[in-house]
Amino acid sequence: MKRLLYKILSSAVVLSVSVLLGCGTSESIPSLPAETPTCRPTPPAKGLCIVIDAGHGNPDGGAEGVTGAVEAGLNLSVANMLKDELTAMGHSVTMTRSDENALADTKRADMSARRDIMNAPGVDMVISVHMNKFTDSSVCGPMVFYMEGSAEGERLAKTIIDSLCEALGRPKRLANPGDYFVIRESIPVAVIVECGFLSNPNDEKLLTTEAHQRLLAKAISAGIADYINQKSEK
């Protein structure tokens, strides 16, 4: 990863960091004229229309682990498993990318294309999948970010981080507010799921295994289900 953007969010129990290339800029990014995939709306009884965004993609590999694991490929692997879980639950799923490549040759164009997909007609929710990295290798575990000030985003982030912590056997962690491109520019409710820290040797080892990736996907989908159930009870 040529450049990493770190944002440290401090609390009494959590040291937080996000490494989303290009997501912290407030600069306006133009839309691409090309057509973009859209979700096919489904009846509410059969589920939502959900966009899954696998962060980064060649030539932008994202964060790199202590033994060389590359974020972009791990993001796509977890995103594909999450797609399987959500589809099995009856949701309609669109991926921002389905192979190892980014959506465009430049970061600006890539992020613009993602925005167009996220905001396509019929989309109900956006889940962006990433891996974290930090200078302190002891920092570990999942994190979930929502757009600061978004009540719905906070609720979704909370159900997902609660589900992840429970599934992974980790102490409960708070959902974190942020101001990153994916969650800021998305019209539907959106969160960024940081699956773990590639800078932590144990996290990196787990994140490269299919079993752990599958566990993450199941936990994220369970958190989404909890969010949907809570909304239906209101």
pLDDT for the residue 127 = 98
- Give the Cα separation of 207 and 188 in Å (integer): 28
pLDDT in tens, 142-155: 999 999 999 999 99
Tokens linked to 56: 């980064």
* Strand, coil or helix: 160: helix
Mean pLDDT of the chain: 86
Query: CB count, 10 Å around CB of 150?
Result: 18
Q: What is the pTM for the complete model shown?
A: 0.83
Query: CB count, 10 Å around CB of 136?
Result: 12
For tokens 């009494």, the residue is 12
For tokens 């978004």, the residue is 150
Whether the Cβ atoms of residue 194 and residue 142 lie closer than 8 Å to each other: yes
Q: Write the DSSP string, 168-204.
A: HT------EEE--HHHHH-SSEEEEEEEEETTSHHHH
pLDDT in tens, 166-213: 999 999 999 999 999 999 999 999 999 999 999 999 999 999 999 999
Whether the Cβ atoms of residue 114 and residue 103 lie closer than 8 Å to each other: yes
Q: Write the DSSP string, 48-72.
A: -EEEEEE--BBTB---B-TT--BHH
pLDDT in tens, 78-112: 999 999 999 999 999 999 999 999 999 999 999 99
Query: CB count, 10 Å around CB of 160?
Result: 25
Whether the Cβ atoms of residue 101 and residue 157 lie closer than 8 Å to each other: no
Cα Rg of the chain (Å, integer): 16
Q: Which of 34-38, 60-64, 93-97, 183-187 has the lowest mean pLDDT?
A: 34-38
